[in-house]
Structure 1
Amino acid sequence: MSISTRDRILDSAERLFAEQGFHVATLRQITQEAGVNLAAVNYHFGSKQALMRAIFKRRLDALNAARMKQLDEALRSDPPELEQVLDAFVHPALAFTRGGDAEGQRFMQLLLRAFADRDTDLHQAMRQEYAHVMRRFADAIGRALPGADADRLRQQLDFIVGALTLTMAESALKDTRIIAGELVRFAAAGLRNALPSGQTREVRYPLEARS
């Protein structure tokens, strides 16, 4: 199957941005590698910043679709199990970036470069683009922990995002399912411990132990 011009540009830009950084890689390099002219980049994306956002959106759309599918499964229980909700957020991300796939590893490189470069425009754009995903997970966690403060849950979810990002970047080889289970238990313990005094803090069985 032939690859569209848009996808060729995205693939080339993703490779070069991951290898060299967003500020170093040039549109000339990208067009040469993709075998297109500059007019094609301008037509499909309009600017280098918009091209960068499109790269992230392509990967994050697929990742968040996998998260939503797993979350739908967790929400079949009412109330949902906290560990299952957290696993729906954590495991698809780890499976993508640590699954041995070149695309996942390259995207992880790109993600780390974006954090290192402190690209606030990109961070803000992605935060707005996927705010609905974060809201849905915050709502699901709230259903799993009735009585928890909604504003505090959203802040704690930001903490979990930070821990997940560092875990995704960890180079030590370890089974993804085990890593996800450990992070889920850590996050669940923190969320339960933050409940108001006297609130129930039921501890579930580890994910690996369930049939």
Structure 2
Amino acid sequence: MEYNPKQLLILESAEKLFASHGFHATSVRDIAHEAGVNIAMISYYFGSKEKLIESIFLKRIINWKAILNETLKDNSKTYIERLDSLIENFVRRIIGNPCFNLMMMRAQIQADMLVNDLIHESKKEVYEVIGAFINAGQEQGVFNKDVDVLMMVATLTGTTNHIMSTRHHFQRMSNLEHLSDSELQEYLIIHTSNHLKNLFKAILIHEA
């Protein structure tokens, strides 16, 4: 779906507030104030707070699935090159969009969130696409046969989300206080990507 500038502003404002305060603690009035619009405009464009958070997830999920399919189905690149691109794109997506991913983490631990079904279906589709890619690599003799794809996806998401959500602790532990926020973000993207690439290759293409 294409959004106009005012809709994008509302989505960005809601994403920021949902990430910092949680869905239930954020009111439509709060979102309207943050976006500099009136409540009626939010109701006109999105209908309800539930539809608003659903729109945020759909926007992000559709974009990620397009990138994922484009990356893993690019037959002009080797399986290893596509694996590297998958990890780079995923890490940049998570660490580069902390508000959305903090919002997702909050939503997943709240059982009464209607958007959880959407999150589950998205995670299932991502797992299936990555699983199909790894299976194809196994059939070509590139990847090892005995691979727990679900645990690999959990490692990818868990490691990246942990670095994203504790980035300032990581900064202090690594003596990187001299870096600006943008410099730290880029450092974490590169450092985390390289670590995960080495880890995945150790699992997928080396003898245990």
TM-score (norm 2): 0.69
1:32-74 CA-to-partner distances (Å, cap 9, x unmatched) read 333434343333323222211211222333333333333233x
Q: Report the Cα distance in structure 1 between the residues aligned to 2:192 and 2:152, rounded to whole angstroms.
A: 20
| Deviation by residue 1:112-134 (Cα, 9 ceiling, x = unmatched) | 33345456532321232464443
Structure 1 unpaired stretches of 5+: 193-200, 204-211
Evaluate the alpha carbon distance shift between residue 125 and residue 65 of structure 1 in structure 2; reply closer, same or farther with a 3 A threshold: same
The DSSP-based 3-state class of the residue aligned with 1:63 is helix
Q: Distance in 1 between matches of 2:200 and 2:166?
A: 17
Q: Residues 15 and 99 of structure 2 are in contact (CA less than 8 Å); yes or no, is this contact kept in structure 1?
A: yes
1:163 to 1:123, Cα distance in 2 relative to 1, 3 A:
farther
* Alpha carbons of structure 1 residues 161 and 15: separation in structure 2 relative to 1, 3 Å: closer
Please identify, of 50-59 and 17-26, the stretch whose mean Cα deviation from structure 2 is larger: 50-59
Q: Does residue 139 of structure 1 match 2:132? A: yes
Per-residue displacement from partner, 1:143-169 (whole Å, max 9, x unpaired)? 11238479x534643454333332433
For the 8 Å contact 1:68–1:88, the answer to whether it is kept is no
Number of matched residues?
A: 184
Report percent identity of matched pairs. 25
* Secondary structure of 2:192 counterpart: helix
- Supply the AA of the counterpart residue of 2:116: H
1:161 and 2:157 equivalent? yes
> Which one-letter code corresponds to 1:105 in the other structure?
P
Between the aligned partners of 2:112 and 2:70, the Cα distance in structure 1 is 30
Following TM superposition, the consecutive aligned residue runs of length 4 or more in structure 1 with deviations greater than 6 angstroms are none
2:177 is aligned to none
Conserved? CA contact 1:10–1:55, under 8 Å: yes
How much does 1:202 deviate?
A: 4.0
Whether 2:175 is the aligned partner of 1:182: answer no
2:85 corresponds to which residue? Answer: 88
| Counterpart residue type for residue 108 of structure 1 | N
- Where 2:115 maps in the other structure, the secondary structure is helix
For the 8 Å contact 1:97–1:168, the answer to whether it is kept is yes
The CA distance in 2 between the partners of 1:112 and 1:154, in whole Å, is 18
Length-normalised TM-score, structure 1: 0.68
Q: Give distance in 2, aligned partners of 1:45 and 1:106.
A: 20
Q: What amino acid is the match of 2:158? A: G
State the one-letter code of the partner of 1:52.
Answer: I
SS of the residue corresponding to residue 65 of structure 1 reads helix
State the one-letter code of the partner of 1:136: V
CA contact (8 A) 1:142 1:153 kept: no
Determine helix, strand or coil for the equivalent of 1:70: helix
Provide closer, same or farther for how the CA distance between residues 34 and 120 of structure 1 changes in structure 2, counting only shifts above 3 A.
closer
Q: Which residue of 1 aligns with 2:76?
A: 76
Q: Aligned partners of 2:131 and 2:199: how far apart in 1?
A: 17
Task: Structure 2 unaligned segments of length 5 or more: list them.
Answer: 171-183
The 1:120–1:28 alpha-carbon spacing in structure 2 relative to 1, beyond 3 Å, is closer
Instruction: Give the match for residue 198 of structure 1.
Output: none
Deviates more, 1:174-183 or 1:153-162: 153-162
- Assess if the C-alpha contact under 8 Å between 2:61 and 2:122 holds in 1: no
| Alignment-derived partner of residue 95 in structure 2 | 98
